[in-house]
Every structure is written in structure tokens, then in C-alpha cells.
Structure 1
Amino acid sequence: MAKFSMAASNLCVAIVALAAVAAAAVGEAAAVEHTFVVSEMKMTHLCNETLVTVVNGQLPGPAIEVTEGDSVAVHVVNKSPHNITIHWHGLKQRLNCWADGVPMVTQCPIRPGHNFTYRLNVTGQEGTLWWHAHVSCLRASLHGAFIIRPRHAYPFPKPDKEIPIVIGEWWSMNLAQLAKNMEDGYYDDSSSATTINGKLGDLYNCSGVVEDGLVLDVEPGKTYLLRLLNAALYSEYYVKIAGHEFTVVSADANYVRPFTTDVVAIGPGETLDALVVANAIPGRYYMVAVGGQAPKPDIQIPETRSRATVRYAIGAGNGDEAAPPVAPEMPDQHDFMVSFNFHGNLSSLNRPGSPPVPATADESLFVVLRMGSICRRGRLSCKRSGSKESIIVETMNNVSFQLPAVAAATPLLEELYYDHRRNGTVGGSGLDQLYTLPDRPARPFNYTDRALIPWGPNEAWLEPTEKAALARRFRHGAVVDIVFQNAAMMDTDNHPMHLHGHDMFVLAQGHDNYDTVRDVARYNLVDPPLKNTVLVPRLGWAAVRFLADNPGVWYMHCHYELHVSIGMAAVFIIEDGPTLESALPPPPVDFPKCDQQ
């Protein structure tokens, strides 16, 4: 593949930028281009110099800002030593699964020294999404906002200013080593700090010198649209601003019925849009993000927390500027009802053109999310419950995901595409090694039995599991119901389940074990929220419905990095529709090859 010319790129971007301005002036769709140079650079925090993989020398990476209907081209130039793919989190990628960016599921990775251009379509979507590397752990430093503004008007008063708020983590350790630790069965690593827009904030210091924190300058009476996204590897976050309230207007780039709250809860992978009015007494106020975690007997990690400062403009009657900023009273990090209640408040803002909720489902799955274990070195029997003879894995219906062995040469999406064109006569491919995700677990148990949380001996009989290329095929146009049941097996974290290429109607959520007779009656079929990432509550369940109308091979996985890295994932194969307009087109001519050197 030819190397990408940076000089040509800069000229092209300048020309396209001028064209985009002209197009915006007449309300026409624009062609937007970005160049992402992926490289390593040294950054210093907490008195340590760390080698970090970043885009264009930035952390977070550059925000992509477009208008609904634009076309987007992102030239990724890989100058890092790592294989790279970029996933456009929440973009539906209609008939464009080739650009979804999952290594060996939808594409061969971009090798060091090579480049690839992602061509994206943002028609029919508005709001805040994001992009990130889909390479184990590297998304901690390779991520940024993806903002799609409406072509006409917001369904709420236009804010005076829009501000992206990216919650992330700073890792002093090497992220590639972190990924290797996960693969080797060591899970006790934790981040060094929480960040807001890449800054650690004044809760952290290096030899007595506090770290820089984000400062948001506001003017009295003005309204600000905060575009929040959680790019952290591990934690859901509770966010508050002292003396202020949020009016939540969108979640996962879908408008919601506005509601006001003093705290928002945002899980890994989720995005939220919230209006904040600068209507407090002029002064300085802390915005605090604190990471939630399950209480004991779950394994505890150090509390994760950061804060930024909301500062009223000088001359606005700030009072004593030497006084410390006002701090909010934060929820307890173990209080999962904050998250449960927040997500339960979300409902769709039904507008003309909003997708209708399908009245019934064609297929129904009951998927239990839990830990298990496999024996090391392929042994059939071994000691469990934390023994070094076994490795802990995450599972969906007691199967832990791994790519097919032969998928090292050809991504599953390419195999599916060419298999269809050969009328299904392919042999020896990764498709032959797919294991069908069962409708329900083979071994039912009391999924929320608290006695199963500690490692051994009560849960030992449930631990044995298997690894396989877990998949499920759906005919084009099928309506699919999934109940995700969170199980108390060695941990009780909530699970932010992310489906690529589709939004899901969140019909209901609940505590304890799902009961079909009781809980189906609670389904919201009028205005359920549409989400691409659904938080399955701790010791509870969430019921979703989606329309399988986007052909391709789409990843479904938990967005906690540890969980997806050790197997809480599957691929959903959506078949072609009956017409050319509903069938997957051929791959791009410059698609990455796996044999690149």
C-alpha cells in the first residue's frame, strides 16, 4: 500500500475545510477530512515519564465535529509500533461495516508504517459519539469526541457554548503490558489517576506540586451544553458540579425527554449531553467525577476521582478569589442506586422521524453475564477459585469469546462477504469455527445469590467454562429481544454492553433475577430510550430490543476493558437483505491486508 503524503494531506484538508465552510453557509452537506497520525510520545505526570500512544500528539485526541448528513474521511497514518484500528463508537455505519474498526472481525489491523482511510457516513444521527482504538487497552490514550450537530435546530434552546468533557484515566504503566497482564490472568492493575479532558486535576500532586486541572470559564446567565463521554477502561463515573444542575437532553446520540438532576451517571462507552445554566452566585465551583465500584466482598481498587473548576468570569462579582472552590457532596462510590435511578429516568424524545418501537420480537435471547474459569495449558481439570492452575474469564451464557484460529489471516467480515458470493460453498474458514450463542444458559442457577461473590468454595462448581468464537446469526429485518442478566459470580460489576452498528431500545431494567411473567408487563413500548451502550445493573438485568437491519459482522461486548479482554463478547452476523440497497457492498479497494510487512 502506498504511503500517505502528509504534505498532500495538509493541502487537501485546507481545501476541504474551505469547501465545508461554503457548504455550511447554504445548508448543504460537506465533505470533512481529518488526518490522524498515530505515534508514541513521552508525557510526564505524577513525577513519572511515560511513553504513550496518541493521535496527533494529543490526549484526548482531536474531536471530529460535523453536521448531520456530512461525509467524513479520516486518514489514519500509523507511525506507532502497534497494530491499530479505530472504532467509531455509536456510528451506525449503515451498509458500511467495513469501516467499523474491529481487528480481525471487520478488518486486518493497520500495521506499523502503513495507513488506511476510514470513510464514514453520519446521515440520520445527531449528538455526541466518540472514536477510540479497538486494540486492547490502547483506547485509554487513543480516543476523542465525535460530535454531530443537527442540520436545522436542536429540540431544545440553543446553548451559548458547547464543551466536550472527556472522562478518562492516566496509566503510569505501559498499556501494552497492561493488556498482556490481562491475557496472562493478572487483573489487579489499576490506573494511576482519573482525568478530565486529559488533565489530572488538583487532587494529584508530584512532590508537592499539584497537577493541572481543567478550568471552564462561564458567564452569569449563559447556558452551556456539556458533551460528556466516558473513555475510561474500568469505571462508571458519577459527575456533579457544586451549586449547579444538569438538564439531560441526549444519551448515546439519541434525544431524550429532558430531565433535571444534580448528578449524572455515565458508564464506560456511554455519552451524555446535558445543559448547565451558569446561575449560581459568581465564584468558583468544582466539577467532580468519582468512579463507582461494587462493595465488598467484591475485590476493591483504590478510589478513582478527579475534579475540574467551573470559574465565573472575572468582573462578575466573584467575591474572594482566594477562597477555595465550592465542592459538591458526592455519592458514595458503592451506591449503585445512583446509576440505577439515573438510567431509569431516560426516555426517548419522540419526534417526527423517530424510529418506532417494534411491537413484537422474532427472536428472544436470555444472556447471563458472569465470570468463569478455564484450566491453563489446555488441561481438562484443575483447581479453581483463584488458583494459579486456572485463568478467570468473562462469559456470555458460559462461553468466553476468542477469535477462530484461522481468522489470523482473514477477517470474519471478508469471509462472510465472499462466502455469500460463492453461495456458501466455502470451507476451512473462520465461519466454520463459529459457536452459536445459545438462547439461554445450559446451567441455570440463582444468578444473584450473594454467596457466589467470594472466590470459593460456593461458586467453584459453576466456574468451568469454555472458550469459543461465539456468534449469532440473524436474518435481515429480524426483531431481536435480549435480556441481559447480571450474575453474582466472583464479582458484581455492572456491565455496559455495547452493540456495534445498531441502537437498542432499552425496554426495562430491574433488580435481582429476571422473571418473564412479571417483568414483560413492565416493558416500555411507548418511549424507551435508544442506546448503543446499555448498562446492565449490578445484581440485576436489562431488557433490550433491536432491529437487525444493517448487514455485516457486528461486535457485541462489555465496555469494561478487562471484561472484553477476557471474553465477554460475541459477534452478531446480520444477513443481507433482499435488494441491492439492503446488501453489504464490496470492501474498499485500499482495504488493509493482513500480510503487510
Structure 2
Amino acid sequence: VENKTITRLCRTRTIVTVNGEFPGPQIEVDEEDRVIIEVTNKASSGISIHWHGVYQKRTCWFDGPSYVTQCPIQPGNSFTYNFTVVGQRGTLWWHAHAGWLRATVYGAFIIQPSSNPLPEEHTIILGMSNFFAYFLHDFPGQWWNSDVSAMVDEATAAGVPPNISDALTINGLPGLLYGGCSESDTARVRVAESNTHLLRLVNAAMQIEMFFGIANHTLEVIEIDASYVKPFNTSTVVIGPGQSMNVLITTGSDVGSYLMAARAYSAAPSIPIDNTTSSAILEVGDSSDVPADLPDLPGHFDTAFVTEFEDKVLGLVEGAVPTEIDKEMVITVSMNVLDCPPDASEESCQFFEGRAGASMNNISYVHPNTSILEAFYTGASSGVYTTDFPQYPPVVFDYTGPPPANLNAVRGTKVHVVEYGTRMQVILQGTSLVVAESHPMHLHGFDFFVVGRGLGNYNSSLASTFNLWDPPKHNTVQVPAGGWTALRFLATNPGAWYFHCHLDFHLSVGLGIVLIVENGDEPSEQLVPPPVMPAC
């Protein structure tokens, strides 16, 4: 991990990279491979790496989120991640999980199947950039022309959200639509004519859900979050922050070039967004033309299209979801206004005369100064965390109706403990506190079945509408603005697992919890002993 100077949109700045690459190197493994990766930190701040979507079966020590499963790797130090890929294949990714460093520290993590060879494949990483961009083979991202860490520190000091990004990116480059500086900052992907190609998409953006499409091409969606879905065709895909997706495209016999494009989707029109469009060029055959026609993407606030797209997503495997449950949790997912501390200045409380916050069940998560997993494993949790995260909302109200008076979330490090083997049902309930918006929720250590979703307030009678036959399986899912999402999974992976919003601003102000899954009775159901972990 090291600093590197790069130029985008005619501006040059220093960013944190892995092996000097931006986006970082693509890691490609086979099913059941043991993966050993040594990370040496030559940057100026502590860092850890999360292997997004990798189960880490019994190896929670290597999951990566700072102060949850490890302390950050300090400058000048190294740490070796050592885990085996078990029962997975498909497109995942890796990224920094300390502060906002994942703005530039990320890359693809590809698990090749042991059989059924794939067609020619390309990775595309979507992102946003305030000099902060994302791309894999197709990686959407964001870019900020200013220093991201400094921008976040400034916003935090004022108690407000950070600036929106200056550009969106595809494979780290903004594309043709940002004026004279951007034409050379355009990614190109070359494919053969008269063939079927696999595109691996990752949304590495810090703050936004994305639309993505290719002019004059149909996308066949076959996999989301490294789990197969029943194939369906679409002109545009919707991909949330943290999600990955595999699509097939078929090229014609003619040589030519076509624009690929990504733009933001928002379920909350009142919130400012990066309303620019990133582009890249798909070259079919030996074409080097610069095409002019963009794909016909939906508008920034086209929730109807998003709902229609999500309705098409069904799991390929049938009959695998737990039909009975042992434990239910209902968790509200909210933005909040935190009261200004009595000794704070007005300059630090500029968010509705308070400070921006976020919560789950009205608890705004606070990182401890050590590893929760280590504290759990050693039995030394006193002063690190408490186990009283509520199973149900502590305050019942019309969650999606007119917002009540500010609930002023409680800040703390509260976890919820789950017995090994529990058949879990989790209802994520959005609220209208501050503003109703969608939240991409990511659970570490597990995939979950998305058995239901809807608008308004969840109640138990809605369980009769759940899809218990062929629901999709994800590791990251959108909770719709003004609505709810229902998940089911089997808690058979011991460890301390972060469950959080993948909008980094929401995460940084408290929208997360830790689920601790206890060891089972058998050795194969227990955490392996820890390696020598980074010191705090």
C-alpha cells in the first residue's frame, strides 16, 4: 500500500494505491484455493483490507474491517491475510476498510469455477471521483478533485455530509463527457465480433447506486454477488454500492465501437447527487472509432425502473431458503440529527443545528479502539462493547410516515449475539427520519436470501407474501426508500460480522452493527485460533 501521483480531469494529486495501481490489481483464484496475501503499509495512515463477499468460513480474523475483526495495519508494518475460498465462485471484490481509503484502494476478486469454462471475460468497475474513481474490468466509481480524507475531515468537523463527487468513473477513468480534459481519460474494452462475452461489473462507488448500459446491446444478467440468478435480459442494469454482477453480451459480425455509460440513481430527489455521466468505449473487432451515441439510461430518479428491474431478480437454485426461523430481528435503518454537545461550537453543528448521524434501531454505532473479535475470543469484552443491541426497535412509530420529533439516536458500541446454527430472519425497515432514502446494506461473512420487500411499514402479516422458493441470494441489498426488506440466512459461521450501510458517509456516522455468531459444539463449527494480529 503506497502513495502515487495521478492525473484526472487535468488535475494532479496523490492518492493511496496498492502496488502503484489504480484501480488495484485483480486477484484471480479457483474454487477451494488457499489465498495468502501479504499487505505492507507504506502509506501514512493505518489501513486494513476487506475481501468483500468472501465467506471467511471460520477465518473471521482475515475479514478485514478495522476495529471489528482487526486493528489497522500501521504505517511501516505488514500483515498476512490467509484464508481458503470455500463454496463460492463468481465476481467479488476487495477494498480498504478503514476510514474513506476505499475511495482509491480496491480491486476485483474473481473466483473461477472448477468446471464449465466461461466465455471471454472482461471486468468493469464503476465508481465516483472527486479525484476518486473506480473500475475493474468494468468498475463504476467516483472521483474527487480534492483530497478525499481531508474533505471528509472537514465535513466531520462541521457535522455535515461531505461534498458530492466531481465525476463518475469506469475502470478509474471519467470518460468523454467532462470537457476537454476527459477525452484521454476514457477506458476502452476490446472484444471479438460474433461472440458472447462475460462482463464482470462492480459498483465501487462510495455514495451512489448506478445505472449501467451499452449502446445497441442487450445485457443478460446471470449472477449477482457471486450467486447465480435466473437469466433475464435488460437494456440497463441497476447495481448498488458494494454489489457485483455478471452479465453476458453478444456482439454482431460488424466491427464498430459503442459507448458504455454509468450514471447515478437516487430514491431521494431532495438530496444532492453527482448528476454527471461516466462513459467508456466497447471496441468490437479492431475498431478504434470514438462513438457518439449514449445508451438510453433511465433518469436519475426513475424508481419505477429500479423496482421493475429488482422484480426480475430470482435465484437460480430453488428450495434452499430456510422455511422455518428460530430468531427474528426487526431493525430500523435511519439517518438522524444528533444533538450538538453542550461544549461544541456552532461551526461544528451545521446539520439542522446539530450533527449528522445514522443509526440501526436508534443506536448510532461507535468503533471501539480495539478489535471486537479479539475481545470476544479472549473474553475481554468489558469496556469494548456491550451485548444489548435491541432485537426490535426500542421506539415504535409510523416509520415511513411524517417524521416524528428527532429521536436523537444513542451512540454506543452495542452488538447482538446469535447462537451457532440459528435460522435467522432480519427485517430491515427504512424510516423517514431526516429524509427517506434507500440504503445498500452489506452483511460480512454470509450470503442471505432476500425473501421479501415492500413499501410502507412491515408487519407480520406480510410474511405470507415472502418468496420461499426461489429468492435471490446476495451479500448486499438495497432497503427501498420508505420501505422494508426481509432477509433469511443460517448463522453457521462463527465470528464478529459487520452489518452496515455501504454508503460510506452513512457508515462513518453510525449506520452499522456487529453480529457475533458464537462457536458451535464441534471443532468444524469453531473459529480457528488467531494469528499474530496487528496491534492497536
> Any idea what SS the aligned residue of 2:150 has?
helix
Alignment check: 8 A CA contact 1:398 1:441 kept? yes
Report the more deviating stretch, 569-578 or 434-443.
434-443
Q: Secondary structure at the match of 1:98?
A: helix
What is the CA distance between 1:499 and its match in structure 2? 0.5
Contact 2:164–2:273 (Cα < 8 Å) also in 1: yes
2:502 aligned with 1:559: yes
**1:248-286, CA deviations, whole angstroms, 9 ceiling, x for partnerless residues?**
111101111111111100000000001111137542211
- Aligned 1:361-510 pairs, distance under 5 A: 361-377=325-341, 389-404=353-368, 408=369, 410-419=370-379, 426=380, 428-430=382-384, 433-449=385-401, 451-452=402-403, 459=404, 461-510=405-454
RMSD: 2.2
* Partner secondary structure for residue 329 of structure 1: coil
1:91 aligns with 2:45: no
1:124 Cα offset (Å)? 0.8
CA contact (8 A) 1:227 1:271 kept: yes
CA contact (8 A) 1:340 1:537 kept: no
Cα distance in structure 2, aligned partners of 1:427 and 1:550? 20
- Taking a change above 3 Å as real, the CA distance of residues 233 and 97 of structure 1, as seen in their structure-2 partners, is same
Q: What one-letter code is carried by the residue in structure 2 that aligns with 1:303?
A: N
Alignment match, 1:29: none
Q: Deviations over 1:515-552 (max 9, x none)?
A: 321x2111111111111111111221110011111111
Going from structure 1 to structure 2, the CA distance change for 1:543 and 1:52 (only over 3 Å counts) comes to same
Q: Which runs of 5+ in 1 are unaligned?
A: 1-37, 420-425, 453-458
Counterpart of 1:313 in structure 2 is 285
1:343: Cα distance to partner? 2.2
Does structure 2 conserve the Cα–Cα contact (< 8 Å) formed by 1:415 and 1:429? no
1:398 deviates by 1.1
Contact kept, 8 Å, 1:367 with 1:483, in 2: the verdict is yes
Post-superposition offset of 1:427:
6.8
Confirm or deny that 1:56 pairs with 2:10. Answer: no
d(CA) in 1 for partners of 2:487, 2:343? 37
Q: Secondary structure at the match of 2:145?
A: coil
Equivalent in 149, 164, 178 of residue 176 of structure 1 = 149
Corresponding residue for residue 194 of structure 1: 168
In the TM superposition, what is the alpha-carbon distance from 1:371 to its structure 2 partner? 1.4
Any idea what the Cα deviations from partners look like across 1:333-356, whole Å, max 9, x if unmatched?
0112222222222111118xxx82
The question of whether the paired residues in 2 share the 8 Å contact of 1:203 and 1:211 is answered with no
Q: Is the 8 A contact 2:259 2:291 kept in 1?
A: no
| 1:242/1:107 CA distance change after superposition, 3 Å | same
Structure 2 CA distance for aligned equivalents of residues 237 and 281 of structure 1: 29
* Secondary structure of residue in 2 paired with 1:414: helix
Instruction: Kindly state the Cα deviation for residue 70 of structure 1 after the two structures are TM-superposed.
Output: 0.8
In 2, distance between residues paired with 1:81 and 1:238?
35
| 1:494-531 deviation line (CA, Å, top 9, x unaligned) | 111100001111001112222321x2111111111111
CA contact (8 A) 1:504 1:544 kept: yes
Name the amino acid aligned to 1:591.
Answer: M
- Cα 1:161–1:100 change in 2 (3 A) is closer
Separation in structure 2 between the aligned mates of residue 503 and residue 85 of structure 1, nearest angstrom: 22
After superposition, the C-alpha distances for 1:42-95 in whole angstroms (9 at most, x for unaligned) are 111222211100101111100000110111111101000010100000000000
Measured after TM superposition, the shift of residue 329 of structure 1 is 1.4
The C-alpha deviation readout for 1:198-226, integer Å capped at 9, x for no partner, is 111111235x6634211122222111101
Assess, with a 3 A threshold, how the Cα gap between structure 1 residues 386 and 299 changes in structure 2: closer, same or farther.
Answer: farther
Q: Please point out which of 289, 294, 307 is paired with 1:327.
A: 294
**Residue 125 of structure 1, aligned match among 82, 88, 94:** 88
Does residue 260 (structure 1) correspond to residue 202 (structure 2)? The answer is no
Alignment CA distance shift 1:323-1:438 (3 Å): closer
Q: Distance in 1 between matches of 2:19 and 2:487?
A: 38
Give secondary structure in 2 for the equivalent of 1:434. coil
The one-character-per-residue Cα deviations of 1:132-181 (angstroms, maximum 9, x if unpaired) are 00012110100000000101116xxx313343311111121212213323
The structure-2 alpha-carbon separation of the partners of 1:499 and 1:140, relative to structure 1 and needing over 3 Å to count, comes to same
Aligned to 2:471: 528
Counterparts in 2 of 1:182 and 1:360: CA distance versus 1, 3 Å? farther
1:80–1:387 distance in 2 versus 1, CA, 3 Å: closer
Task: Say whether 1:591 aligns with 2:522.
Answer: no
Look up the match of 2:129.
Answer: none
Q: Distance in 1 between matches of 2:291 and 2:331?
A: 49
SS in 2 for 1:546: strand
Q: 1:289: Cα distance to partner?
A: 0.4
- Using the size of structure 2 for normalisation, the TM-score is 0.92
* 1:312 positional shift: 2.0
TM-score (norm 1): 0.83
1:146 equivalenced with 2:114 (yes/no): no
Contact 1:344 1:509 in 2 (8 A): no
1:321-378: per-residue Cα shift (whole Å, max 9, x none)?
8674332111010112222222222111118xxx821111111111111112222336
From the two aligned structures, give the one with the greater helix fraction: 1
Q: In structure 2, what is the Cα distance between the partners aligned to 1:48 and 1:299?
A: 27
Q: 1:295 to 1:359 in 2, by over 3 A?
A: closer
2:175–2:182 Cα contact (<8 Å) kept: no
Q: Is the 8 A contact 1:370 1:394 kept in 2?
A: yes
Q: Which of 174, 180, 203 in structure 1 is aligned with 2:177?
A: 203
For the pair 1:516 / 2:483, whether they are aligned, the reply is no
Matched residue type, 1:489 = L
Structure 1 CA distance for aligned equivalents of residues 468 and 254 of structure 2: 43
CA distance in 1, matches of 2:241, 2:201: 11
Letter in 1 for 2:429: Q
Match for 1:360: what amino acid? Answer: E
Q: Secondary structure at the match of 1:436?
A: coil
Aligned residues of 2:325 and 2:423 also touching (Cα < 8 A): yes
1:581 positional shift: 1.4
Whichever residue aligns with residue 67 of structure 2, its letter is M
Identity %: 37
The counterpart of 2:242, out of the listed 239, 259, 269, is 269
User: 2:189 matched to 1:216?
Assistant: yes
